[in-house]
Amino acid sequence: MKHKSKESFFKIGVFLMLLSFLAGCSISHSVSSSSDSSRSISRSSTSSSGSQIPEETRKAYVKDVTTYVSAIGRSDIASDNFMRGIGSIAERHSIADWENYKFTYIAIGKGLKQAGLSRDEIADLPYLKPLIKADASRLKYIMEGYDS
Q: How far is the CB of 147 from another protein (least distance, A)?
A: 18
Q: Which is nearer to another protein, 120 or 148 (CB)?
A: 148
The sign of the dihedral angle between the CA atoms of 104, 114, 55, 61 is positive
Q: Coil, strand or helix: which one is 52?
A: coil
What is the Rg, in whole angstroms, of the alpha carbon atoms belonging to the chain?
A: 26
Q: How far is the CB of 102 from another protein (least distance, A)?
A: 10
DSSP classification of residue 113 = H
Q: Which is nearer to another protein, 120 or 136 (CB)?
A: 136
Q: Which is nearer to another protein, 119 or 129 (CB)?
A: 129
Residues 41, 42, 43, 47, Cα dihedral to 10°? 110
Rule CB under 8 A: is residue 136 a binding residue for another protein? Answer: no
Question: How many chain residues are in contact with another protein, going by CB under 8 A?
Answer: 74
Question: How far apart are the C-alpha atoms of 74 and 79, rounded to whole Å?
Answer: 12
Q: Coil, strand or helix: which one is 135?
A: coil
Rule CB under 8 A: is residue 8 a binding residue for another protein? Answer: no
Q: Which is nearer to another protein, 86 or 122 (CB)?
A: 86
Rule CB under 8 A: is residue 126 a binding residue for another protein? Answer: no
